[in-house]
Amino acid sequence: MLIVMHHWATDKDVTLVKKTITSMGLKPVAIPGAERTAIGIIGNQGRVNDAPLRDIKAILEIIPVTKPYKLVSRDFHPADTVVTLGNKVKVGGKSPFLVIAGPCAVESRDQMMKTARLLKKMGVPVLRGGAYKPRTSPHSFQGLREGGLELLDEVRKETGLLVVTEVVSPEHVGIVAEHVDILQVGARNMQNFDLLTEVGKIRKPVILKRGLSGTLEEWLGSAEYILLGGNPNVVLCERGIRTFETATRNTADLAIIPLVKEKTHLPIIFDPSHATGKRNLVAPLSLASIVVGAHGVMIEVHPEPERALSDGQQSLHFPEFEKLQGRLNSLGKFVKQKMQGQGTRA
């Protein structure tokens, strides 16, 4: 439920509304606005009986909210959320386009250090690498697990890069958060509600990937679990969805990016590697994601993709990544200039 106050409502009126909501056993969330204040209500598991609020004169309107998400909704939080990664890098709103890159999986110290040195040289701030790998076949490489976390921690300390890795089970959230700066919830776990609840208890940023068949509403419902747990630092990541088309690994749903920006204030990045599964499609799709308004990209890059233990076919060689980075920079500047003053969120 959303309560919209009259423009003449005083701080005292707002406090009265908040107290009334609390006395109803619910939680008020203030939503500041330029014109008038609104107050959201969370904590209800069904319809709210608004009788105690009806006689408060300073209330203009009481709007029932039927969506499965509130805290992540633009209705509850009109301004863009900017998430800070590791106290220094920002993503969302008008922050510079973020590039995250690295191999699919952490394989060795040498592989991670080579990649980290390239990123550092290029000014790319965040290194990715999976320590726990959720693989379709149990016979495929499952990741170095704790050993992978140790390597990520070493590389981040040695290079000062920020590091992101996937967490696959609620019991691992603590140990993963100790070793990396950003946690990733993968597509296969988008609706692992125990995992979402657990990452809601920490404050490190979480990249929440869209599930293989996740609808926008389901995806935002999943983000809501994390925010409701108390962690506001969520970055959404579109990584392609399952369709009838098998020519690409997944179908890149670029249309969802501007739509996500309409529905939620959270940042949204794009993963062209899993969205396409093909190295030669990574550059064009990364560039396209800038045009539709993504706040960043996450790209798989490997020193020797032919020898990669997972996702080599979609991983860029270093020179390809360097070339793409140059193109992203030029296109980013161009799009920013063109969009200025047009009042569009994309």
Nearer to ligand PEP, 39 or 131 (CB): 131
- Binding test (CB under 6 A) with ligand PEP, winner from 77, 204, 239, 295: 239
* Least Cβ distance, residue 165 to ligand PEP (angstroms): 9
> How far, in Å, CA of 11 to CA of 13, rounded?
5
**Contact pick of 209, 261, 279, 295 for ligand PEP (by CB under 6 A):** 209
Which span (20-28, 73-81, 148-156, 182-190) binds ligand PEP, by CB under 6 A?
Answer: 182-190
What does 143 interact with, of ligand PEP, Mn ion, none (CB < 5 to 8 A by kind)? none
To 10 degrees, what angle do helices 109-122 and 318-339 make?
40
Q: Which does 77 bind (CB under 5 to 8 A by kind): Mn ion, ligand PEP, none?
A: none
Q: Do residues 156 and 180 lie in contact, with contact meaning Cβ atoms separated by under 8 Å?
A: yes
Site for ligand PEP contains 274 (CB under 6 A) = yes
Number of residues that bind Mn ion (CB under 5 A): 2
89-96 long-range contacts, CB within 8 A, separation 24+:
89/125, 89/126, 89/162, 91/235, 91/267, 91/269, 91/295, 91/296, 92/235, 92/266, 92/267, 92/295, 93/267, 93/295, 95/295, 96/332
Residue (90 or 188) nearer to ligand PEP, CB: 188
Q: Does 166 bind Mn ion (CB under 5 A)?
A: no
Least separation in angstroms between residue 172's CB and ligand PEP is: 15
Tokens of 9: 């409502």
Q: Does 102 bind ligand PEP (CB under 6 A)?
A: no
**Strand 234-238 and strand 268-270: pairing?**
parallel
Q: How far is the CB of 321 from ligand PEP (least distance, A)?
A: 16
Residues 128-167 that bind ligand PEP (CB under 6 A): 130
Which residues inside 91-150 make contact with Mn ion, applying CB under 5 A?
104
Distance in Å, CB of 315 to Mn ion, minimum: 8
- Compute the CA torsion angle 170, 172, 178, 180 (nearest 10 deg): -90
- H helix runs in the chain, sequence order: 11-23, 51-54, 109-122, 146-159, 173-179, 193-199, 216-228, 256-263, 272-276, 279-291, 318-339
Residues 314/117, Cβ–Cβ less than 8 Å: no
Burial 272-302 (b: 16+ CB within 10 A, else e): bbbbbbebebbbebbbbbbbbbbbbbbbbbb
User: Which of ligand PEP, Mn ion, none does residue 293 bind (CB under 5 to 8 Å by kind)?
Assistant: none
**Contact window for ligand PEP (CB under 6 A) among 80-88, 183-191, 214-222, 258-266:** 183-191
Q: Which residues contact 123 (CB under 8 A, 6 or more apart)?
A: none
Site map 266..305 versus Mn ion, x via CB under 5 A = ----------------------------------------
Per CB under 5 A, which of residues 304..343 are in contact with Mn ion? Answer: 311
Contacts with ligand PEP by CB under 6 A lie at 104, 130, 186-188, 209, 239, 274
Contacts with Mn ion by CB under 5 A lie at 104, 311
